[in-house]
Amino acid sequence: MDTLWIIINIVAMLGLIGLLVWMQKKHISFTKRVFTGLGLGIVFGVILQLLFKPDSDVIGKSTEWFNLVGYGYVGLLQMIVIPLIMVSIISAIMNLNGVKNLGKMSFSIIAVLLLTTAIAASVSIITTLSFDLQAIDIQSGDREQAQGLKLEERLGVVEDQSIPEQILEFIPKNPFADMTGARSSSTLAVVIFAAFIGVSVLGIDRKKPKQAQVFRDLIDAVYAVVMRMVTLVLRLTPYGILALITKTIATTHVDEILKLINFVIASYVALIVMFIIHLILITMFGFNPLVYLKKVLPTLTFAFTSRSSAATIPLNVETQTRKLGVSSGIANLSATFGATIGQNGCAGIYPAMLAVMIAPTVGIDPTSWDFILKLILIVVISSFGVAGVGGGATFASLIVLSTMGLPVALAGLLISVEPLIDMGRTALNVNDSMTSGLISSKILKENDSKVYHDKNIDLDSAQV
pLDDT of residue 388: 47
Task: Give me the helices (H) in 359-448, please.
Answer: 369-382, 392-403, 418-443
Instruction: Find the range with the poorest average confidence among 74-83, 212-221, 312-321.
Output: 74-83
Q: Is 108 exposed, middle or buried (0-12, 13-18, 19+ CB in 10 A)?
A: buried
Cβ count within 10 A of residue 421: 25
CA gap 154, 88 in Å, rounded: 35
Query: Which pLDDT score is estimated for 376?
Result: 94
Q: Report, as an integer, the average pLDDT of 455-462.
A: 60
358-373: pLDDT as tens digits: 888 888 899 999 999 9
Category of 203 on φ-ψ map: left (φ > 0), alpha (ψ -120 to 50) or beta? alpha
| Residue 233 pLDDT grade (very low, low, confident, very high; cuts 50, 70, 90) | confident
CA contacts within 13 A on the Cβ side of 345: 36
CA-to-CA dists, residue 205 to 104, 328, 440, angstroms? 21, 21, 27
Decide which of 393 and 380 is more confident: 380
Angle (deg, nearest 10), helices 350-358 and 99-130:
40
What distance in Å separates the CA atoms of residue 18 and residue 11, rounded to the nearest whole number? Answer: 10
Query: Which is more confidently placed, 52 or 154?
Result: 52
> What are residue 214's DSSP bridge partners?
none
Per-residue pLDDT at 123:
96
Query: What are the two backbone dihedrals, phi and then psi, of residue 389, each rounded to the nearest 5 degrees?
Result: -135, 175
80 touches 230 (CB < 8 A) = yes
Distance (Å) of CA 48 to CA 6, 13, 18, 59, 71: 11, 11, 19, 7, 19
- DSSP per-residue letters across 101-139: HHHHHHHHHHHHHHHHHHHHHHHHHHHHHHTT--GGGS-
Q: Is the confidence at residue 461, as pLDDT, over 80?
A: no
Please give the single-letter amino acid code of residue 235: R
Q: Is the pLDDT of residue 435 over 90?
A: yes
For residues 231 and 75, give the distance between their C-alpha atoms in angstroms, rounded to a whole number: 15
What is the Cα–Cα distance from 254 to 49, expressed in whole angstroms?
9
Task: Tell me how far apart the 2 most distant CA atoms of the chain are, in Å.
Answer: 74
Q: What is the pLDDT of residue 146?
A: 52
Q: Residue 183: what are its φ and ψ, rounded to 5°?
A: -125, 165
Q: How far apart are CA 218 and CA 141, in angstroms?
A: 58
Residue 29's alpha-carbon distances to 34, 39, 41, 321, 457, in angstroms, are 9, 15, 18, 18, 10
Percent of the residues in the chain that have a pLDDT greater than 70, as a whole number: 86
Distances (CA, A) of 73 to 162, 169, 171, 238, 263: 37, 29, 30, 10, 31
The arithmetic mean of pLDDT across residues 265-271, rounded, is 94
Per-residue pLDDT tens digits for 139-193: 555 454 555 455 545 555 555 556 676 667 778 888 888 888 777 667 778 888 8
Q: What is the pLDDT of residue 463?
A: 43
Instruction: Report DSSP state, residue 97.
Output: S
Give the integer Cα–Cα distance in Å for 366 and 372. 7
Do residues 225 and 119 touch, judged by C-beta distance below 8 A? no
Confidence at residue 183, expressed as pLDDT on a 0 to 100 scale: 73
pLDDT digits (tens, 9 = 90+) for 63-105: 999 999 998 988 888 888 888 888 878 887 777 655 567 788 8
- 32 vs 168, residue with greater confidence: 32
Under the banding of pLDDT at 50, 70 and 90, the label for residue 457 is low
CB 35 within 8 A of CB 301: yes
Q: Which among 404, 357, 356, 353 is positioned nearest to 378, based on CA atoms? A: 404
List of domains in the chain: 2-463 (1.10.3860.10)
Q: Stretch 8-17: mean pLDDT, rounded?
A: 93
In this structure, are residues 63 and 72 in contact, taking their beta carbons and an 8 Å threshold?
no
| Whether residue 47 has pLDDT greater than 70 | yes
Count of beta carbons in the 10 Å neighbourhood of residue 370: 9
| 34-44 average pLDDT score | 91
> In whole angstroms, what is the distance from residue 327 CA to residue 136 CA?
49
Angle (nearest 5°) at CA 303 between 302 and 305: 65
Q: Can you tell me the distance from the alpha carbon of 437 to that of 292, in angstroms, rounded to the nearest whole number?
A: 13
| Confidence at residue 228, expressed as pLDDT on a 0 to 100 scale | 87
Specify the pTM. 0.82
**In contact, 279 and 292? CB cutoff 8 Å:** yes
Q: How many angstroms separate the CA atoms of 282 and 417, rounded?
A: 31
